[in-house]
Structure 1
Amino acid sequence: DVAMPDAPARPTTPELLPPNRMPKRGRGGSERGRIAMLHALAHVEYSAIDLAFDVAGRFGALFPRSFIDDWLSVGADEAMHFAILDRRLTAMGSGYGALPAHAGLWEAAGATAHDAAARLAVVPMVLEARGLDVTPETVARFEAAGDLPSARILQRIYTDEIRHVGFGAKWFGYLCANEAIPPAPRWQSLVRTHFRGKLKPPFNDSARARAGLTRDFYEPLAAE
């Protein structure tokens, strides 16, 4: 067996800043704002490649082989998402690495490296699920600005991310079933312990439900 590294290798760019030092990127009305948003999303997808392979390698022995198959397929999707975003940035006169980014996603991975249930609860079922909430509005803003190529890319990513959140919910449910633990209260306990932020509405209830993440999971936390 080979131990998983504490952190993945990183390119020399982009510069990684603490989240509170990241420049404001606006809402995508200007081309500059859209480039900043696409760059941020490209960094999310770049980090998601590492996260998918890390969860497969770090926790795969605890699950059936299909767990590894699922997360390797997620990693392939995230690599494709990164590639099409980077290609779009290049077409707009920029590229991945041209702007700073932050390592918040990987910090969540480090905080849950000891516990498969915590990793699944926080990364796909909180952080990736948040993308389901905000992406439709982002697509609409890009369409309103006339940037249809970028909007189509974001819509493709959104569709794939429903499946990714679904894998998180599926395998979290598997762990809970093995321990005869109700999944929603267990998820809420893990999120309270391992996620530093708050769950903020509005939620995309329909997309979350398609992924197996129903309101009884997240509404109690949103009310706190």
Structure 2
Amino acid sequence: MNIFDYAKHLFFSPDLESKLLCPSIVDDFSGEVISEDVADLYPARDESISFSDEQVKFPRKGALRQDEKKGLALHFFANHELLAIEMMAAAILFLKPSKNIEHKEIQKIRRGLLTTIRDEQKHFKLYQNRMQEFGCRFGDYPLNDFFWRQMQKVKSLDEYLSVMAITFEGANLDFAHYYREVFKEIGDSKTSSIMNVVYEDEITHVALGAHWLNKWREDESIWNYYLNSLPELLTPSRAKGIIYDEEARTRAGLDSDFIKTLKVYKDDFTVTQRKEWNASK
């Protein structure tokens, strides 16, 4: 299957099964993007997995001893994985680098995105299977579209990698680490091991973004290049979680200046101002 046909299949098919089609089917990397604008687009989803404006609160740490709350937490995580699959398909279909680069390099990026899609599909299935053991099916709770609304602002692959790899997947290094330990503390080794699989894979996903941003930044620091590639109203605070995992970011290839600058970055976004974060400094 051609890579663009595959990406269309993921993005425009409304059913969950189609969105989980493995990228190993792709054997043709020819073709060009079909558009350069995602501002008015939404991934197709049937009614059972459609986006909702209804707000559901993520369960507190102390509530995660309850199976129902575990299922809810994994439902949040699974939606993030599905959104990531759709965003990566959109990146293949609609985005180019802001700079002129060789076609073979663009193909390398797209191959990297396919590898990441495979991982996100794996994560989704791990979450889905585990939350079903807690009596929860995907779609039982409202599904938010926050990540996709940020994707609609993205104009190039540089911006995409800054938003997805460095910001959202970077933050998930912290969240996966944190919840791996939470589930371990409450004796749920099975869910903890799932979080560890996600954690290790996320390091490679952040590394994909770090590699290409480093390659394209020229004389600019990666921090400034990253900042200049973020869409309006999305700040580096979104690139951090409840804790701050410097080791994982180092393993992903981010330099020490970037890691230190991100660690001390503050603005009005509050997720990184929690008690656990302040205590970890």
For normalisation by structure 1, the TM-score amounts to: 0.86
Identify the residue that residue 12 of structure 1 maps to in structure 2: 47
Identify the residue that residue 117 of structure 2 maps to in structure 1: 75
Give 5+ residue unaligned stretches, structure 2.
1-31, 268-281
8 Å CA contact 1:108, 1:123 repeated in 2:
no
Deviations along 1:137-176, one digit per CA (max 9) or x if unpaired, are 2111112222221111111111111101110111122222
Counterpart mapping for 1:1-224 below 5 A = 2-3=34-35, 6-14=41-49, 16-18=51-53, 21-27=55-61, 28-59=64-95, 64=105, 65-112=107-154, 114-177=155-218, 180-191=219-230, 193=232, 195-196=234-235, 198-199=237-238, 202-217=243-258, 219-220=260-261, 222-223=265-266
8 Å CA contact 2:51, 2:145 repeated in 1:
yes
* d(CA) in 2 for partners of 1:94, 1:7: 26
Structure with higher helix content: 1
Q: Which amino acid aligns with 1:47?
A: L
- What SS does the aligned partner of 1:184 have? helix
Count of residues in Structure 1 that have an aligned counterpart in Structure 2: 220
The Cα of 1:60 is off from its aligned counterpart by: 5.3
Q: 1:78 to 1:24 in 2, by over 3 A?
A: closer
Q: Runs in 1 of length 4+ with deviation above 4 angstroms?
A: 60-63
The Cα of 1:104 is off from its aligned counterpart by: 0.9
My pick for the range that moved more, 75-84 or 191-200, is 191-200
Q: 1:24 to 1:157 in 2, by over 3 A?
A: closer
Higher relative contact order (CA 8 A, sep 6+): 1
- % identical equivalent positions: 21
Q: 1:26 to 1:14 in 2, by over 3 A?
A: farther
Select the structure of larger CA radius of gyration.
2
Deviations along 1:179-218, one digit per CA (max 9) or x if unpaired, are x433221212333745157355742101011112234225
* d(CA) in 2 for partners of 1:54, 1:71: 11
My pick for the range that moved more, 66-75 or 26-35, is 26-35
* d(CA) in 2 for partners of 1:159, 1:220: 23
CA-based RMSD: 2.4
